Every structure is written in C-alpha cells, then in structure tokens.
A = this chain, B = another copy of it.
Amino acid sequence: MEIKVLKDILGANEQIAERNRRLLDSKGVFAINLMSSPGAGKTSLILETIRRLEGKVRIGVIEGDVSSSLDAEKISERKVPVIQINTGGECHLDANMTSRALDNLALEDIELLLIENVGNLICTAEFQLGEHKKVVILSVPEGDDKPYKYPLMFHIADVVLINKIDLLPYLKFDIEGFSKAVRGINQKVEIFPISCTTHQGIEEWVSWVMANMRSSAPEALT
C-alpha cells in the first residue's frame, strides 16, 4: 500500500514538472537542477557561475533547504533574483514547491535558472522539478566510491562535477577510477573536475552551460 501511495505522488509530481517545463520554455528560461550531498559546493558553484556570467546571462536562483535562508542571503548579495524554499523537514524539492517558487520569480527577466536542491545524494534523484538538465556535484573529500553506493544519482545526471580538486594533494581520490565508475552506469554523462576556490575547470563548466542554453532554448539568448 505504501508503494501505491508513492507511485501516485511520483505520477502527480511528473505532471506538475511537465507544466513547469512548459512554463519555463514559454519564457525562454533554461533551468538546471543542482544536486549533491550536504556541503559539496552547490552554493559556491552558483556564486562562481554568477561571477563568470555577469553582464552576459541574466540568472535567477531557487534555493532549497530543509531550514534557514543562509544560502539565499549569500546569493542575493550578488543582486540576483532568488527565492528560498524551506521544505520544513522534507528531504528533497518537488515539482509543486518549484511551481510555487516560479510563481514568485519574474521569469521574463531570467535566461538561466539555477535550482539548488536540498543536500541529499539519494532522495532528490527521484523527483523531476521541470528542469532541462540535472547536474550532480561530488566533492573530493566525499571519496571516489560514491557511484557504487548511490548509483541512481549518477545514473540520472547529465553532468557530474568533481568539486574541491584543490584538496587532491591532501586526500586519496582517483579521478580516473571515479569517472570510469560513473560512466559504467551512465554512458552519456559529462564529467568536469572543478574547484570553486581556485576557479579551476569553471571555464569548461560555464562553456557547457552556454552551449546547452543555446541548443535547448534558442530564444533565451536573443
């Protein structure tokens, strides 16, 4: 019986996600769902992306957290429109929460929407929000065995960012072995090693964003 309830929830969620995606497309907004463990660097990546695309792309942000508005405060210092969703205990964002956030953003002023999901490497993978691409951040200190332990997250990712590579001298992390494990469950994934501290790899990430904005929503760049 629990399984039936869960199926209903997921079915309803997909319908709302589809509606979100149509709304975003109609406004020419390209949306990315950013997922990771707590503290892997989602907010830092958003801040880096804003920095690199300032004056080039109009960005909006949705911040998902169980509690607090710490991240939204950091984003709003950069003069970027941001909506904080507090899930109040829920371990992931869903399409309905996203829909309410979209209602509170001036979408006509946004070309790129970065959605920071709740810090969770499991539950967030199951819920469509209406995004165009799913980006997973795995940070070096978490270890290179994570694709084996959390396969769904790496299976659904369009991009995997290996963050905090500036810590590689102090930790054991096999980038090649990790990448091979990810590709073993997801042949189409793109993988970029990055550091939001030293800015390594950010250029490649931002190029990927720009290229995908163009190909999936041409009206966003007019």
Contact = CB atoms under 8 A, between A and B. Distances in A.
A39 B143 contact: yes
Nearest to A44: B143
A82 to B, nearest CB: 16
Interface in A105-150: 118-123, 139, 141-143, 145-146, 148-150
A68 B148 contact: yes
Contact of A66 (B5, B142, B150): B150
Contacts of A118: 122
A89 interface: yes
The copy count of this chain in the complex is 2
A55 interface: no
Contact of A151 (B5, B67, B171): B67
Interface in A11-56: 37-39
A191 interface: no
B66 A151 contact: yes
A91 interface: yes
A152 interface: yes
Nearest to A67: B151
25 contacts: A2-B9, A37-B121, A38-B146, A39-B141, A66-B149, A66-B150, A66-B152, A67-B148, A67-B150, A67-B151, A68-B145, A70-B145, A91-B91, A91-B120, A119-B121, A120-B121, A120-B122, A120-B123, A123-B123, A139-B141, A141-B141, A141-B167, A166-B170, A167-B167, A170-B170
Given A120-B123, A122-B123, 4 more contacts: A37-B39, A66-B150, A120-B120, A167-B171
